[in-house]
Amino acid sequence: MKRTINEHDFVNAFYPNYENHFSYEGKVALYEYLTQLEEDTGFEMELDAIAICCDFTEYDEFTEFLEDYEDYAKEHNIKEIDDIAEHTQLIRYDGGLDHKFIIQQFWSKQERNSMQYFKIDYTDYEWYELMIKMKQKLPNNYHDCFDDYGVIKDKYMDIFCVDIFQTSDKKGK
């Protein structure tokens, strides 16, 4: 059984746990982008607010992007917002300010090669055990990472939604 999602449903899917991950305007822009992508590809997507939060990041201005991707931007001569589109999906929208944008997360080849642990290779429980070994701030009980509905609690979202984890010495010490 499938349910058709409208813009209102999409925006509300982020409440209450992920309501601050994107601005209202950002959620609307993502809805428009994802529904257009469905139409263009003919592939029907499943609405997963957690995955969207992990896959996309909203920026209020270009300098915020540079803080996250400084080395990559220098290496690839990214000097303005439009240059980002050559490296990942760029979603521009007004949002009250004409310089707000959303990107799909990406890693440079050098970053991928230097990283050690790939989330995709682990179940949530295996990832939890690995992160405990890496001295990440997680509760002693795996189930305490989730709310009553099985959703990852906000304070652990960054740990569970990271695609790649690297230790400082690459040996897990």
Q: Can you give the pTM of this predicted structure?
A: 0.62
Same domain, 91 and 135: no
Is the pLDDT assigned to residue 27 strictly greater than 70?
yes
Domain range for 160: 115-165
Integer Cα distance of 113 and 131 in angstroms: 20
Size of the chain, expressed as the number of residues it contains? 173
Average pLDDT over every residue of 136-145:
83
Confidence of residue 12 (pLDDT cuts 50, 70, 90): very high
Q: What confidence score (pLDDT) does residue 126 get?
A: 76
> 164: phi > 0 → left, psi -120 to 50 → alpha, else beta; which?
beta
Same domain, 92 and 125: no
Q: What confidence score (pLDDT) does residue 90 get?
A: 92
> Which of 58, 81, 107 is at the close of a domain?
107
Weakest mean pLDDT among 10-14, 83-87, 117-121: 117-121
Quick check: is 88 in a domain?
A: yes
Average pLDDT over every residue of 127-140:
78
Comparing 34 with 117, which gets the higher pLDDT? Answer: 34
Integer Cα distance of 168 and 77 in angstroms: 27
- Of all helices (H) and strands (E), which one includes residue 103? strand 101-104
Same domain, 91 and 131: no
Question: Hey, which of 51-65, 92-106, 124-138, 156-170 has the most confident mean pLDDT?
Answer: 51-65
Q: What confidence score (pLDDT) does residue 68 get?
A: 86
Q: Tell me if 112 sits within 8 A of 164, measured CB to CB.
A: yes
* pLDDT tens sequence across 29-66: 999 999 998 888 888 888 888 888 888 999 988 999 99
Quick check: is 170 in a domain?
A: no
Average pLDDT over every residue of 61-77:
89
- How many distinct structural domains can be found in the chain? 2
Token pair for 172: 């897990």
Is the pLDDT assigned to residue 161 strictly greater than 90?
no
SS3 45: coil
Same domain, 77 and 125: no
Quick check: is 172 in a domain?
A: no
